[in-house]
A and B are shown apart, each in its own frame.
Chain A
Amino acid sequence: MALSLTYKAATSVPVEIEGLTPDAIRAQPLGDIERFTIFHGNEKLPLAEMFDVSGDASDGRIDMHGDLSGVHWIGAHMQTGEIRVHGNAGRHVGSEMRGGRIDVDGDASDWVGGEMRGGAIHVRGRAGHLIGAAYRGSARGMRGGVILINGDVGNEIGHTMRRGMIAVGGNAGDMTAFNMIAGSVLIFGQCGIRPGAGMRRGTVGLFGNPRTELLPSFRFACRTRPQVLPLMFRRLRAWGFEVPETLDGEQFDLFNGDLVAIGRGEVIRRHASDN
């Protein structure tokens, strides 16, 4: 039986539950978990002030209920185990996580998987800006793991990412994979302006329709059907992420860039387009 946390507070002040991860509380009795220190703005509170706590944590699973869009750092730094959010989640879901998985049934806010090292995050709804990104000033963003977002996302996703994969079922905002060092970002909806700006290595897949203009610092290489795409699509489907069947037979244009950086990155853009 999983640990069940039901959010009962109604506050417009941010609530931060950093450190409340399945691995950290696994061996703790319910009473200790209820006293776990969380922040309400700059005020420290025990967890039980804002959540009804029941069940037990020994199997490494946490179920969270209610609208947690004002609750931040869910699953940050987690190493193993499972968190399921039956509703919306706030900012920094799975920030710097190294393993385990987080499922969000609703929407998540900005910084999903910020600087994550490993594990998986699957958001069924939409998500905000800077997914898998480097925190301000850092040399590297996401360094491993998988982030799947079924809906739309905001700007600068995969900012300075180094390894791992981000897949977005809906539309993405501007500056996707900005400054990317390596890794993969796949956008199945439309994409905003300047995808891949400043990318050094790595792969950006742009599969939406109509297609996105690339910066002039990307050079067309060839029209192709990359062998890797069917493999990636098969894996994504196995993870429960929907990939349109129509893509399987499509042709793609391959571009190299960003030539203002070292230009070893690739953008794979769907060839067919309505524009």
Chain B
Amino acid sequence: MADSLLKIAGGTIYDPANGVSGQVADLWVSGGRIVAPPTDPEVRPSRVIDASGLVVMPGGIDMHCHIAGPKVNIARKMRPEEKRRDEVIPRTTVTHSGTMGSVPSTFATGYKYAGLGYTTAFDAAIPPLAARHAHEEFDDTPCLDKGFYLLMGNNHYVMRSIQENEPQKLDTFIAWLLSSAKGFAPKLVNPGGVEVWKTRQGGNVHGLDDLVDYFEVTPRQIIAQVAQSAGRLNLPHPVHIHCNNLGMPGNWTTTLETMKALEGHRGHLTHIQFHSYGGGEGDENTFNSKVTELAEYVNTHENITIDVGQVLFGETTSMTGDGPLGYFLSNVYGGKWFSGDTEMESGCGITPIKYKNKSLVHGLQWAIGLEWYLQVEDPWRVVMSTDHPNGGSFLAYPQIVRFLMDRTYRQDVLKTCHPRIRDRSSLADLDREYTLEEIAIITRAGPARILGLKNKGHLGVGADADITIYTPHENKETMFELPRMVFKSGNLIVEQGEMREAPMGRTLHVQPNYDNELEKDIQEWFESYYSIRYRNYPVSESYMHEPEVVPSN
């Protein structure tokens, strides 16, 4: 099919990266990419899709979700009761069967993302030691181009390099780790705090200047040094940060300090909704929103990007590399709990949770998420996410679109929530409504730019032909939950909710260069402490499906 030529004719195109906002135009696709219209009038497309009256956007990009790796698999096994009650995905001639629940099975995850018009997704927390597992699960997660971030914020070698003030060693290690695990970006989860939790009963750090036992480094140093190192390595997505003190009243100051700790270097603060709380320490009665203060800092500092981590009401499963947080949540909800300790690398906590609209805390969390979308002025620096499945399922994205584009609906839902939310957040006063162009930015063009993906999130010549076509509708939830057509690399994969094809998709990773001499130091450290041999650690190409190296900036 190399010479097949597809024409998507007469669609209303939203391609903010190329300055196209609602213009009617044709798209030409060949070889899985967008191509220039043929100059020779004799050239005829082999297929024409009539998109007149329909909205055409690049495929959606979820830059922060949990869809692979050991934590996701453990959560699946932990919640058979959900899978028993929920929808079953039957096998068809093109798809595998699957199960849903808050953590859908691998194949179902791919189909459901595609069904919403999403064609790229990044898992946000993989322990490097489990990278092979994550790649194997990616191999069973169709319809999406995928990548993952590697947990580094509590890695012993990272902390030791910072303690010994050896930035070259840190650079080498980060580059070596990303290359070995075939990861996409460094991820910091509660930097330093998880290590304290692993060594001390009930331990954690509570501020950016607490010392981590044995390493004598602070979270502030970890954040600053990794951000600087990522800058020196020119990584396409330098550092993805889950701040300390997630979910705790009064944590907004920690978040603000984290932003300052970046010292102007690029950094992405993830699921920032969970990090924007005012109030006394541990005191839920004083819990309130501090989005206005934090958003002001984000608005005036271009080095910072965020994704929201929107909470939606209902049951879900919390999974995090933040071990002490998992323990905290399991005590709040009294359900099952899993805690993990990955050698020199990271921790993990998993527990079922439930967000209730009548709860003041949960209602505020919901409102705070929406406040973030509405208070960051530059849509290029705020990304839609639910931190799937932590705040809610990715299946809620169409509903979030409606919250953002329809303030009446937003206010109606606010009325069903706890009455005191109005006093403790500014949501009731926010009139802003998103335009379709802005939705296209926060779900596609923005994340592509933040991730440094030059071929994604736009419809210019040379872009991957990941295209979603929507039928316009007054109710934006209806519009976004059932795309008319979804194309992945130029192939029609979903048509009005019906799967037509389920290609596996590519694995996106980085391969930064590093100093081979300094690698010997890593090897020596590795062989002294790890449970596996150094040479068995790197993930070989044979574990990957269509790998694609995303070049450094």
A residues bordering B, Cβ < 8 Å? 135-139
Q: How far is the CA of A139 from the CA of B84 in the complex (A)?
A: 13
Determine if B419 is an interface residue (Cβ-Cβ < 8 Å). no
Shortest CB distance A169–B (Å)? 31
- For B77, give the chain A residue with the smallest CB separation: A137
Residue B78 contacts which of A135, A137, A138, A139 (CB distance < 8 angstroms)?
A137
Shortest CB distance B113–A (Å)? 25
8 residue pairs from A and B, CB less than 8 Å apart: A135-B81, A136-B80, A137-B79, A137-B80, A137-B81, A137-B82, A137-B84, A139-B81
- For A136, give the chain B residue with the smallest CB separation: B80
Q: How far is the CA of A139 from the CA of B82 in the complex (A)?
A: 11
Residues of chain A within 8 A (CB-CB) of B84 are 135, 137
Determine if B335 is an interface residue (Cβ-Cβ < 8 Å). yes
Q: How far is the CA of A139 from the CA of B334 in the complex (A)?
A: 11
Q: How far is the CA of A138 from the CA of B82 in the complex (A)?
A: 8
Q: How far is the CA of A1 from the CA of B33 in the complex (A)?
A: 69
B52-91 Cβ-contact flags toward A at 8 Å (1 or 0): 0000000000000000000000000011111010000000
Shortest CB distance B80–A (Å)? 4
Q: Closest 8 CB pairs between A and B?
A: A137-B80, A137-B81, A138-B81, A136-B80, A137-B79, A135-B84, A135-B81, A139-B81
Residues of chain A within 8 A (CB-CB) of B82 are 137
B residues bordering A, Cβ < 8 Å? 78-82, 84, 335
Other than A135-B84, A138-B81, A139-B335, give 11 A-B pairs with Cβ distance below 8 A.
Answer: A135-B80, A135-B81, A136-B80, A136-B81, A137-B78, A137-B79, A137-B80, A137-B81, A137-B82, A137-B84, A139-B81
Q: How far is the CA of A135 from the CA of B83 in the complex (A)?
A: 12
Shortest CB distance A241–B (Å)? 31
Q: How far is the CA of A135 from the CA of B80 in the complex (A)?
A: 9
Shortest CB distance B72–A (Å)? 16
Shortest CB distance B448–A (Å)? 38
Q: How far is the CA of A237 from the CA of B84 in the complex (A)?
A: 37
Q: How far is the CA of A139 from the CA of B81 in the complex (A)?
A: 8
Shortest CB distance A134–B (Å)? 8
Residues of chain A within 8 A (CB-CB) of B335 are 139
Residues of chain B within 8 A (CB-CB) of A136 are 80-81
Q: How far is the CA of A136 from the CA of B85 in the complex (A)?
A: 12
- For A140, give the chain B residue with the smallest CB separation: B81
Q: How far is the CA of A138 from the CA of B84 in the complex (A)?
A: 10
Of A135, A136, A137, A139, the most chain B CB neighbours within 10 A belong to A137
Residues of chain A within 8 A (CB-CB) of B78 are 137
- For A134, give the chain B residue with the smallest CB separation: B81
Q: How far is the CA of A138 from the CA of B78 in the complex (A)?
A: 10
Q: How far is the CA of A196 from the CA of B82 in the complex (A)?
A: 27
Shortest CB distance B342–A (Å)? 25
Q: How far is the CA of A175 from the CA of B487 in the complex (A)?
A: 55
Of B79, B81, B335, the most chain A CB neighbours within 10 A belong to B81
Residues of chain B within 8 A (CB-CB) of A139 are 81, 335
Shortest CB distance A29–B (Å)? 29
Residues of chain B within 8 A (CB-CB) of A138 are 81
Q: How far is the CA of A135 from the CA of B79 in the complex (A)?
A: 11
Shortest CB distance A2–B (Å)? 32
Q: How far is the CA of A21 from the CA of B56 in the complex (A)?
A: 49
Residues of chain A within 8 A (CB-CB) of B80 are 135-137
Q: How far is the CA of A138 from the CA of B352 in the complex (A)?
A: 12
Residues of chain B within 8 A (CB-CB) of A137 are 78-82, 84
Q: How far is the CA of A271 from the CA of B33 in the complex (A)?
A: 82
Q: How far is the CA of A135 from the CA of B78 in the complex (A)?
A: 13
Q: How far is the CA of A136 from the CA of B83 in the complex (A)?
A: 11
Q: How far is the CA of A138 from the CA of B81 in the complex (A)?
A: 5
Shortest CB distance B101–A (Å)? 10
- For B82, give the chain A residue with the smallest CB separation: A137
Shortest CB distance B329–A (Å)? 16
Residues of chain A within 8 A (CB-CB) of B81 are 135-139
Q: How far is the CA of A136 from the CA of B82 in the complex (A)?
A: 10
Q: How far is the CA of A248 from the CA of B94 in the complex (A)?
A: 67
- For B352, give the chain A residue with the smallest CB separation: A139
Residues of chain A within 8 A (CB-CB) of B79 are 137
Shortest CB distance A178–B (Å)? 16
Q: How far is the CA of A65 from the CA of B78 in the complex (A)?
A: 40
Q: How far is the CA of A166 from the CA of B35 in the complex (A)?
A: 71
Shortest CB distance B316–A (Å)? 15
Q: How far is the CA of A111 from the CA of B84 in the complex (A)?
A: 15
- For B85, give the chain A residue with the smallest CB separation: A138
Q: How far is the CA of A1 from the CA of B381 in the complex (A)?
A: 72
Q: How far is the CA of A137 from the CA of B80 in the complex (A)?
A: 6
- For A138, give the chain B residue with the smallest CB separation: B81
Shortest CB distance B469–A (Å)? 36
